[in-house]
Structure 1
């Protein structure tokens, strides 16, 4: 998988440089997200601006990212979502579960607001 990583002060931007996030690439994404988490980064933006297709394996990778970074009070934000990918997220109702924004700027703002709120999720069980 080709990708870029941009380490900011409060978060990391991970950008897959692939058109598909499928069963071949999803395990790599999961592994990279877990590595970023293990390196001590609590907040991640996954920039999907280059990704035009996601299958169920790709959705699973998104859920792993959300779970891992949310577990310790961090946040996992997905930005740059293409139309086809957004349709799949809506059909699977993951648009209600995941932190989705349109731009990297909005992702940075979401992380900033999350940090101000002390890392608490909006939803309480």
Structure 2
């Protein structure tokens, strides 16, 4: 499986350099998500710009990522989806569940907004309990 990972302070960018996200690649993707999350990364951007095709096992890997990063108050965002992948996500009605943005830049902005909102909510909670 070919991929690259860029770790930043607030998020990790996972770029899948494969044309297919299918049964041969999906288990490795799931395992990387678990590792990245276990290392303390809360937010992940999955850049699928190279991916031209996915199947149910690929969607399953995406859902695993969405669940594990969401469980810890983080954000899981898909970026740069091609038409085929987007169509499959829409047909599966996962577009209502997943965070999907057109570009990595917009995904980064969304993560920073999420972090700011989370900090503000924590401060508000502390003020209420003080």
Using structure 2 for the length normalisation, give the TM-score.
0.90
TM-superposed deviation, 1:53 = 0.3
Q: Structure 1 residue 11: deviation in Å? A: 0.3
Partner of 1:101: 101
Instruction: Please tell me the root mean square deviation across aligned C-alpha atoms, in Å.
Output: 1.1
Q: Provide the residue aligned with 1:92 in structure 2.
A: 92
| Uncovered stretches (5+) of structure 2, i.e. residues with no partner | 122-130
1:16 aligned residue: 16
For 1:44, the equivalent position in structure 2 comes to 44
Query: What are the within-5 Å matches in structure 2 for residues 1-125 of structure 1?
Result: 1-118=1-118
Partners of 2:34 and 2:73 lie apart in 1 by 15
TM-score between the two structures when normalised by the length of structure 1: 0.93
Instruction: List structure 1 runs of 4+ shifted beyond 2 angstroms.
Output: none
Question: Between Structure 1 and Structure 2, how many residues are aligned?
Answer: 120
Which entry has the higher C-alpha Rg, 1 or 2?
A: 2
In the alignment, the residues of structure 2 paired with residue 11 and residue 118 of structure 1 have an alpha-carbon distance, to the nearest angstrom, of 14
SS of the counterpart of 1:45?
A: strand
